[in-house]
Amino acid sequence: MPPVACDPQLMAGGEFVLKVKVVSRGGHELKEIKVKGTDLVSEVKERVEPTFESKLRFAGTFDEFPDDLSLVDVGVVGEPEGLSCFSRRGINQEL
C-alpha cells in the first residue's frame, strides 16, 4: 500500500488516529490509537501489543516495518487503512 496523500502537518509529525488490525491465534481485533508521524515503529508496536513481541506492516504485504524508523519514514501518514500487527502469541497470517 502506498503512502496516503495528506496534510503537510501530518507529514511533519502531526497527530492522527492509527487503526491497526491485531492478528493472533485467538482471532483478530481492531485497535485505534493516537500517534504522531514522528513516533518510532517500536513505540507504536509497544502501545498496540504491550505483552508480546509483534510485527507491524501494511496488510497484504510481508515486509515488516523496521523498529528504528518513524511512521512517516515507513509511509504511514494521514490515518491510513490497512495496517496489521501480528502478535508472536499467534499465527502470522491474515484473516
**CATH code for the domain in which residue 81 is found:** 3.10.20.90
**Is residue 95 situated within a structural domain?**
no
Average pLDDT over residues 14-18: 86
**Is residue 92 situated within a structural domain?**
no
For the chain, the domain total comes to 1
The proportion of the chain whose per-residue pLDDT surpasses 90, expressed as a percent, equals 24
**Is residue 57 situated within a structural domain?**
yes
Length of the chain equals: 95
DSSP-based three-state secondary structure for 77: coil
Closest CA to 55 of 78, 81, 31, 89: 89
Please give the model's pTM, rounded to 2 decimal places.
Answer: 0.75
Phi and psi at 2, nearest 5°, equal: -75, 160
**The pLDDT of residue 61:** 85
Host domain of residue 82 = 8-87
